[in-house]
Amino acid sequence: MKILNVDQIRSLDQSTIQHEPIAPINLMERAAHTFVEWFVDHFPDTIHTKIFCGLGNNGGDGMAIARLLLEHQYPIEVYVVRYAPRESDDFMHNHRRLKLLLDSIHYIESTADIPAIRHNEVVIDAIFGSGLSRPTEGIVKDTIQAINRAPATVVSVDIASGLYTDQPNEPTDVIIEPDYTLTFQLPKLALVLPKNGPYVGNWHILDIRLHKRFIDQAPTSYYFTQPSEARLLLRKRNRFSNKGTFGHALLLAGSYGKIGAAVLSAKACLRAGVGLLTVQVPQCGYTILQTVVPEAMCSPDRHQNILTGIAPSDQAGHESLDPSDFSAIGIGPGIGKAPETLAMLKGLLPSLKKPIVVDADALNLLAENRELLNHIPPSSILTPHPKEFERLTKKWSNDYQKLDLLREFAKKNKIVVVLKGAFSAIATPDGDIHFNSTGNPGLSTGGTGDVLTGVLTALLAQGYDPVEAAVLGVYAHGLAGDQVASQRGSIGMTASDVIDALRWE
């Protein structure tokens, strides 16, 4: 699903009005209807609801929502924040209709007009939507602060009032902090950025049937992975397949005290459908790996405690590995940053031809030896969390700048970069960014990144195109986390739970 910018959204509204065709006021009515459908599903009709409206079309939505909630018998109060002398036409239309049904509509012109808001109430925030063009001030700012101080549940219409749709806010901006955002038709860039967490809450998309052809043709570099899109990426298995069909992956993982990282990646790699798996671990990990992941072959490193190289045969009879024998290689989980491990990377990278997966300390080694980036095979997948990404690039001052850095880094190095976190951002060598839609805070626990490395390595080994592998793998990883959360809650989720919950259907 595409993410469009504010100008495109405005044109999309116009295109819908022109081509469907539909009168603007009826489009507003449709938006209000979809909002109310969601609202009725989530809140009983006994709940006291205060609706705060601005004077533009977001306020118009609020007026229409108020009327529809009245029809559903909700006890509502409506407050119009009078910050300017002029209202939009569609606001005025809905204001007139509401006045016929509601004895009193309240107007907020000074702080004395702001009502007390109690904990057992719901606030609907319809002050500003995508039309926000400057920071909130005066009576709007006072009203927003009062709503934020109140213990009530807050639901924002389209986007929290005060939050820009596709550009950074200043830290001093006053913005509604909703529990829910119900956004129309398409996700907005602001909704997937970490710093905006408090101004977004749980957000959902309401389909208001805006002009599909316009959306299909609109240029964008931002996408949000929908379940149907992820499902389409999944390859069907041939009845006559054999284990050779699904590739042979090599994982280079683990060091003394971090063999668990190797175990987790290995198990996840198998659960993501790889045909054959070899794991190279330091010798201290050999027995562990052979015991807990018997499905994987294990190649012990020459070194007892760290990884030092894809070893040629030695006197102890350790078999030599040839990187070109593997359909995909994943490097990094738990490997540490010993000089010998760096030497291994330096020796290995230039010899590789196929895309690989690079994670964790392998990324930190790259950050400290940036010339190695030139030897990463094209279309490889790097999976930094924000701190690792900062080490690879530089500090950013806001999330929008971070996205620019991410895009440039992926383009310049011709690689796929998965910047992990809530709504992980996957940057492609072409400069597109796909935000993941699955996952939850339960995944913020040690080892889930190692699981992702195993999953991505398995998908590459099976021949998935690297961008598709990243989009599908990150989606499936998050979905597994959601599955665990729905069964046992998100607190206390472990990386092993996530592996067990991986499903490919």
Ligand X SMILES: NC(=O)C1=CN([C@@H]2O[C@H](COP(=O)(O)OP(=O)(O)OC[C@H]3O[C@@H](n4cnc5c(N)ncnc54)[C@H](O)[C@@H]3O)[C@@H](O)[C@H]2O)[C@@H](O)CC1
Ligand Y SMILES: Nc1ncnc2c1ncn2[C@@H]1O[C@H](COP(=O)(O)OP(=O)(O)O)[C@@H](O)[C@H]1O
Enumerate binding residues for ligand Y (CB under 6 A).
360, 385, 420-422, 424, 439-441, 443-444, 446-450, 452, 477-478
Decide which of K ion, ligand Y, ligand X, none touches 134; Cβ closer than 5 to 8 Å per partner kind.
ligand X
Please, are residues 300 and 281 in contact by the beta-carbon 8 Å criterion? yes
Nearer to ligand X, 135 or 421 (CB): 135
Is 317 annotated as a binding-site member? no
Residue 350 or 446 having the CB closest to ligand Y:
446
Work out whether 285 is an interface residue with ligand X (CB under 6 A): no
Instruction: Name which of 195, 135, 192 is nearest 161 in CA terms.
Output: 135
**Contact partner, 424, from ligand Y, K ion, ligand X, none, Cβ < 5-8 Å per class:** ligand Y
Stretch that binds ligand X, among 20-28, 169-177, 253-261, 431-439 (CB under 6 A): 20-28
Q: Nearest CA to 55 among 85, 33, 23, 78? A: 85
Is 125 a binder of K ion (CB under 5 A)? yes
Instruction: List the one residue out of 72, 75, 62 whose CA is nearest residue 103.
Output: 75
Stretch that binds ligand X, among 51-59, 307-315, 347-355, 439-447 (CB under 6 A): 51-59
Shortest Å distance, C-beta 459 to ligand Y? 14
Q: Tell me whether residue 480 is annotated as binding.
A: no
Phi, psi of 107, rounded to the nearest 5 degrees:
-120, 130
**Nearer Cβ to ligand Y (309/447):** 447
Q: Does 56 bind ligand X (CB under 6 A)?
A: yes
Q: Which stretch binds ligand X (CB under 6 A): 24-32, 212-220, 313-321, 324-332?
A: 24-32
Pick between residue 129 and residue 478 the one whose CB is nearest to ligand Y: 478
Residue 61 found at the interface with ligand X (CB under 6 A): yes
Q: Which does 156 bind (CB under 5 to 8 A by kind): ligand X, ligand Y, K ion, none?
A: K ion
The smaller minimum CB distance to ligand X, of residues 9 and 484, is found at 9
C-beta of 43 vs 256, nearer to ligand Y: 256
Can you tell me the distance from the alpha carbon of 324 to that of 348, in angstroms, rounded to the nearest whole number? 11
Q: Going residue by residue from 115 to 134, which x/- string records binding to ligand X, judged by CB under 6 A?
A: -------------xxxxxxx
Q: Judging by DSSP bridges, how do beta strands 202-206 and 222-224 pair with one another?
A: unpaired
Fill in the amino acid letter for 452: L
CA pair distance 138, 158, nearest whole angstrom: 22
CA–CA gap between residue 293 and residue 444 (Å, rounded):
24
Tell whether residue 59 is among the known ligand binding residues: yes
Q: Which two tokens stand for residue 263?
A: 């175990």
In this chain, which of 114, 140, 331, 495 binds ligand X, going by CB under 6 A?
140
Q: Is 334 annotated as a binding residue?
A: yes
One of 65, 68, 157, 321 touching K ion (CB under 5 A): 157
The CA radius of gyration of the chain, in Å to the nearest whole number, is: 26
Contacts of 118 (CB under 8 A, 6+ apart): 48, 150, 151, 152
Q: Give the DSSP letter string of 209-278.
A: ---HHHHHH---SEEE--HHHHHHHSPPPPTT--GGGG-EEEEE---TT-HHHHHHHHHHHHHTT-SEEE
Question: Could you say which residues in the range 173-192 bind ligand X, by CB under 6 A?
Answer: 184
| Opening angle at CA 180, ends 55 and 141, nearest 5 | 40
Residue 420 interaction partner, one of K ion, ligand X, ligand Y, none, beta carbon < 5-8 Å per kind: ligand Y
Backbone angles phi, psi at 105, to 5 degrees: -110, 130
Residue 143 vs 453, nearer CB to ligand Y: 453
Residue whose CB is less far from K ion, 69 or 157: 157
Helix (H, G, I), strand (E, B) or coil at 331: strand
Query: Phi, psi (5° rounding) for residue 89?
Result: -60, -45
Q: How far is the CB of 458 from K ion (least distance, A)?
A: 43
CA distance 382 to 401: 19
Place of tokens 């504010």: 6
Q: Which amino acid is at 190?
A: A
423 marked ligand binding residue:
yes
Interacting residues with ligand X between 78 and 97 (CB under 6 A): 83-84, 88
- Give the residue from 135, 108, 109, 97 showing the smallest Cα distance to 51: 108
Choose between 285 and 439: whose C-beta lies nearer to ligand Y. Answer: 439
Q: Which is nearer to ligand X, 121 or 173 (CB)?
A: 173
Task: Please report where in the chains the tokens 């929502």 appear, as a residue.
Answer: 65
Is 161 annotated in a binding site? The answer is: yes
- The rounded distance, in Å, linking the Cα atoms of 22 and 18 is 7
**Contact call for residues 180 and 198 (beta carbons, < 8 A):** no
Minimum separation from the CB atom of position 376 to ligand Y (A): 18
The answer to whether 62 is annotated as binding is no
State whether residue 351 is helix, strand or coil.
Answer: helix
The reply on whether position 156 binds K ion by CB under 5 A is yes
Size of the site for ligand X (CB under 6 A): 27
Residue 323 amino acid letter = P
Annotated binding site for AMP: 420-424, 449
Which spans of this chain sit near ligand X (rule: CB under 6 A)? 13, 24, 27-28, 31, 54, 56-59, 61, 83-84, 88, 128-136, 140, 157-158, 184
Annotated binding site: 57-61, 125, 129-135, 158, 161, 261, 334, 385, 420-424, 449-450
Which spans of this chain sit near K ion (rule: CB under 5 A)? 58, 125, 129, 156-157, 161
